[in-house]
């Protein structure tokens, strides 16, 4: 009986996360080029698609006119590519099957979409006229590690005051790995309710006058030009602190060694006079 109670409690906790709305923060208009620029994505929030072959992080934000996404991480498993997909329930009606208001977006060798049905490849084109994804997976570009996607809200017939249901997933045509983990691609009632935040990101994500380089970083990441005493920390996207510097003096350049960290996206936090300032930093080993 005790084991049954624990399992029931765990299931309730998992499903309660699905029904709690989370916000899509405001960020700048991105350049869809398949390259993560920290200035474009500092306002984003991040979720993780858990997969046996390696996790994929999804950065998400909006700019009032479009939903912007970046899939980054292990895009293949055992030499087989895994392709990003986005599912959107525009009315967040939480139906148990695909409805006319539900969208499927897919990026592989071409860009595919369909409204009202999952996995209908009839509309695939190299460049879709009503949304953008870069890059595509081709023979000349087999090792894709980042895909940026921009879906105009006008394509979805919604605005930035609406709440949607969404799921992000990786698909290799044999297995499907979702965020949220408990989501099912054919069942919008299991997707995550998300609302568009119309307030600016907290001051901690504004860009003070200092430089972070190189980004992406291989051996070290440097912070230069902070005009006050400060400390610097590096966090994983799940909020775990992985590095912390000694207190820095005004004008001092601080170096953090990142050569031992796994590749991926990290949050670099500079604490100045008790105020946190954050940038996204990517670790990529050459």
pLDDT in tens, 179-208: 999 999 999 999 999 999 876 544 344 445
pLDDT (0 to 100) of residue 5: 45
Q: What percent of the chain has pLDDT over 70?
A: 87
Domains 2-196 and 203-283 share a fold: yes
Give CA–CA dist 274/71, Å, rounded: 33
- What are the pLDDT digits (tens) for 125-171? 999 999 999 999 987 666 788 999 999 999 999 988 899 999 999 99
Calculate the alpha carbon distances from 84 to 16, 27, 230, 240 in Å: 25, 21, 39, 26
pLDDT (0 to 100) of residue 142: 61
pLDDT (0 to 100) of residue 78: 67
CATH of domain 203-283: 2.60.40.3080
Quick one: fold of 2-196? Answer: Immunoglobulin-like (2.60.40)
pLDDT (0 to 100) of residue 192: 96
Q: Which residues of 156-188 are buried (b: 16+ CB within 10 A; e: fewer)?
A: bebebeebbbbbbbbbbeeebbbbbeebebebb
pLDDT (0 to 100) of residue 6: 39
Give CA–CA dist 232/215, Å, rounded: 16
Q: Any idea where the domains of the chain sit in the sequence?
A: 2-196, 203-283
pLDDT-based confidence at 108, cuts 50/70/90? very high
pLDDT at 4 over 80: no
pLDDT (0 to 100) of residue 90: 97
When mean pLDDT is compared over 61-65, 241-245, 248-252, 270-274, the highest value belongs to 241-245
């Amino acid at each position: 009986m005790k084991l049954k109670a624990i399992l029931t409690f765990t299931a309730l906790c998992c499903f309660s996360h699905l029904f709690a709305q989370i916000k899509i923060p405001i960020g700048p208009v991105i350049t869809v080029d398949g390259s993560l620029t920290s200035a474009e994505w500092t306002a984003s929030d991040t979720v993780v698609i858990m997969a046996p072959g390696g996790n994929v992080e999804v950065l998400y934000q909006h700019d009032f006119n479009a939903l912007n996404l970046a899939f980054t991480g292990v895009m293949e498993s055992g030499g087989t590519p895994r392709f990003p997909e986005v599912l959107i329930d525009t009315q967040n009606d939480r139906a148990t099957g695909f409805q006319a208001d539900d969208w499927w977006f897919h990026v592989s060798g071409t860009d595919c979409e369909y409204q009202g049905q999952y996995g209908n490849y009839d509309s695939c084109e190299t460049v879709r006229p009503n949304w953008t994804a870069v890059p595509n997976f081709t023979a000349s570009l087999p090792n894709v590690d980042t895909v940026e996607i921009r879906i105009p809200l006008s394509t979805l017939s919604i605005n930035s005051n609406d709440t949607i249901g969404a799921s992000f997933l990786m698909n290799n045509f044999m297995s499907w790995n979702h965020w949220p983990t408990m989501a099912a691609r054919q069942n919008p009632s299991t997707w995550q309710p998300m609302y568009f935040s119309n307030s600016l990101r907290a001051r901690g994500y504004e860009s003070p006058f200092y430089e972070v380089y190189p980004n992406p970083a291989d051996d070290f990441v440097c912070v230069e030009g902070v005009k006050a005493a400060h400390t610097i920390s590096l966090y994983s996207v799940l909020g775990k602190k992985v590095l912390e510097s000694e207190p820095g003096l005004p004008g001092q350049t601080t170096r953090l060694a990142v050569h031992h960290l796994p590749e991926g996206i990290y949050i670099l936090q500079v604490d100045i006079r008790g105020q946190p300032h954050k940038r996204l930093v990517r670790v990529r080993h050459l």
